[in-house]
Amino acid sequence: MVDHIKFTTEIAEDWKSVLSLLHHDKYNHCIKRIRDASSTSQLQSKLWLVSEIVNLNIDVERVALLAGWYANFITPLLVDELGVKYILNLDSDPDVKTISYKFNKRHKINKDQTKNRDVVCLYRCETHDVMFKPINYGYFDLVINTSCEHMFPMKKFRELNGGNSNPIYVLQSSNDRQYDDHINCVDSADELADQSDIVDVMYSGERELSNGMTRYMVIGR
Amino acid sequence: MMNNILCIKWGDKYDDSYVEKLNEQCEENCSVPFKFWCFTDKPEKDWHIPIPTILDKFFDEKRGFFWAYRKCYMFNHGQIPNDNSHFPDNSKFLFLDLDVIIHQDLKYFFELPNDKPWIVRGWWNDIHMVKQNYAKHKSTPINSSAILWKSGQMMPVWEHVKKHNELIFFTYASLDNYFAHHWYDPWNEDSGFLRGFPQGDIYSWYKGNVFPDDMELKKLRLGHKICLFNNSKESNDVGELKLLW
C-alpha cells in the first residue's frame, strides 16, 4: 500500500515556488483553490488510486490526467511508485497551466528538447476542455479522471477519443451533492463504470474520506 | 443596415405587459429607425415570431440547467438562405430581456463597431472571484440580458449549441455560464469571440454597477443606457420593476 509522498528536496523547491507565485496580485485568487487541492482528502484519494494500480501490477509509461487540477500529489506518486515517463494534464481552467508547472517544475518539458534528457518524467499541461475536443497527444497507457463528478459522463470522452488506442481508465467520483459544480454524482462504483462504458472492470471500490464524502473508483477498459 | 430590437417571452413569469412596455420604451428611446420583434411561445401579432422547439428535448426541467436556451434560436433565425422572411441580410440585432429599463438613446448601440458581437459584461463582478470560481461555474462575468450582433455573426454559437446539445444542457447551469466558458475569456477580455459593453453602459438594479467603487444596489443611474433587473435568486420579484415604469 502506498501511504505517503516522497518529499524530496526537488519537490520542496518546486512547491516553495508556488508559494512565491501567490505573492503576485495576478495569482492571489488561486490561494483558496491551492489550499483545496492540498487537502487530506485529496491526498487520500490519490494514494488510494496509486495503491490500486500498484496492486494490479499495470505497466505504465504515458498517462493522461483529465481535469487534473494542479497535479501536485498525483505527479510524484505516478513517478515514484509507477515509474511513469510522461504525464499530460488537461484542464479547462487557464490558471492551472501556470500553477501546475510550478508544482511540477522538475518535470516540465523544456522548449529546448536537449535539456530534457536528464528528466526522469516529462510533465505537460494544456488548457483544454476534454469533453468538447479530442486529445491529440499520442497514445496513453492510462487515462486518469478523478473529477468525474464535475463533468458529463466519461462515455462522451471515449466517443471523442475512440481511435485505435485502448487505454486503461482510472476514474473517481463521489456522492457528495452539496456543491453546485458536482453535476454528475454517482451512488456506487457500478454506476460510475456503467456511465463510463467500462465493461472490463479490473478494480471497483469505495472509500469514505476524511471530509465525510464517499468516493468511488473504477479501473478498467 | 436594418436595425432590429428583439425580445423573447415564454412561459408565465412575465405577462404581455412586459413586452408592450419594452416596445414602448424602445419607441421612446431610440432615435434611429428600427423594427421591434418578440420571439414567443404564443404568437398572435405580426411582429411575433414563434419560438422553435427543436432544443426542448434536451432540457431537463428537474435540473433546470441551461434554462434560457431559447435565446439561442435568435442567433440562427433569419440567417438561413431563402428563410429571411423576417430579417434581410445586413441586419443589426439588439436583444433585450423583458426586465430592463432603458434610460438613454438606443441609437448608441446600433452605432457601435460591429466587428464582434457585444454582450453585457457584468462589471459588478469582482474579477478575482470570476477567476477563482471559473471552474466551479460560478461568478459568471457575462450576462445575456442585452446582446448586440449583426447578421450571421452569432451563427457559430448556434451551430455549437446544436452540435453539442446534450453536453451543453448537462454541463452549464446558465446560458451566461456557457458563454463565459466558450465565447469569452475572463483572463484576456479583449480576445474573446464576444466583447463586453463598456463600463457606464449597463448596470444592475440588484447587483450594482462597477466593482468595487459603485456597488450600491437598487439605485437608478440615469446617465447609463440600460438598467438590468437580473437576479439569480428564485425570489426575484418581477413586480418591483413595474414600480419603476
Domain range summary for chain A, segments of one domain joined by +: 9-220
> Residues B154-163: contacts with CB within 8 Å, 24+ apart?
B154/B74, B154/B75, B154/B117, B155/B75, B155/B76, B155/B79, B156/B193, B157/B72, B157/B75, B157/B183, B157/B193, B158/B72, B158/B73, B158/B75, B158/B76, B158/B79, B161/B55, B161/B69, B161/B72
Q: Find the helix or strand (DSSP H, E) in which A201 lies.
A: strand A201-208
Minimal C-alpha gap between B222 and chain A (Å)? 34
- Among A30, A94, A183, select the one facing B171 at the smallest CB separation: A183
Amino acid at B67: W
- Is there a contact between A189 and A216 (Cβ–Cβ < 8 Å)? yes
Amino acid at B62: K
Mean predicted confidence (pLDDT) in B74-78: 80
* CATH code of the domain covering residue B51: 3.90.550.10
Say what the pTM is: 0.94
Is A180's CB within 8 Å of B129's CB?
no
Q: Which domain holds residue B55?
A: 2-242
Q: Each residue of A91-146: pLDDT tens digit?
A: 999 999 999 999 999 998 776 666 666 678 899 999 999 999 999 999 999 999 99
The DSSP annotation for chain B comes to -EEEEEEEE-SSSS-HHHHHHHHHHHHHT--S--EEEEEESS--STTEEEPP-TTGGG--TTT-TTTTGGGGHHHHTT-STT--SS--SSEEEEEE-SSEEE-S-THHHHTS--SS-EEEE-TTS-HHHHHHTTTTT-S--EEEEEEEEETTTTHHHHHHHHHTHHHHHHH-SSHHHHHHHHT--TTSTTSSSSEEPPTTTEEETTTBSBTTTB--SS---TTSSEEE----STT--THHHHTT-
Q: Each residue of B84-106: pLDDT tens digit?
A: 567 877 899 999 999 999 999 99
A151 in reach of chain B (CB within 8 A): yes
Q: Each residue of B162-220: pLDDT tens digit?
A: 999 999 999 999 999 999 999 999 999 999 999 999 999 999 999 999 999 999 999 99
Nearest Cα neighbor of B172 from A160, A131, A173, A135 is: A131
Could you give the count of Cα atoms lying within 13 Å of A4 in the half-sphere of its Cβ? 3
Cα gap B127→A26, rounded to integer Å: 11
Q: Each residue of A73-93: pLDDT tens digit?
A: 999 999 999 999 999 999 999
- Is there a contact between A72 and A37 (Cβ–Cβ < 8 Å)? yes
Percentage of chain B lying above the pLDDT 90 cut: 84
Q: Each residue of B150-173: pLDDT tens digit?
A: 998 999 999 999 999 999 999 999
Find cell 484542464 and name the residue: A91
Neighbouring C-beta atoms of residue A153, cutoff 10 Å: 21
Cα gap B218→B208, rounded to integer Å: 8
Whether B233 has a pLDDT exceeding 70, the answer reads no
Nearest CA in chain B to A183: B171
- Among B135, B138, B173, select the one facing A92 at the smallest CB separation: B135
Cα gap A161→A88, rounded to integer Å: 15
Whether A59 has a pLDDT exceeding 70, the answer reads yes
Amino acid at A122: L
pLDDT of residue A126: 96
Minimal C-alpha gap between B153 and chain A (Å)? 22
pLDDT of residue A205: 98
Interface probe with A: pick from B134, B169, B181, most Cβ of A within 10 Å: B134
DSSP assignment letter at A149 = G
Look up the CATH architecture of domain A9-220.
3-Layer(aba) Sandwich (3.40)
DSSP assignment letter at A94 = H
Quick one: chain A helix, strand, coil %, rounded to 5? Answer: 40, 20, 40
Cα angle value A209/A212/A217 (rounded, 5°): 40
How many structural domains compose chain B?
1
Interface probe with B: pick from A147, A155, A181, A185, most Cβ of B within 10 Å: A181
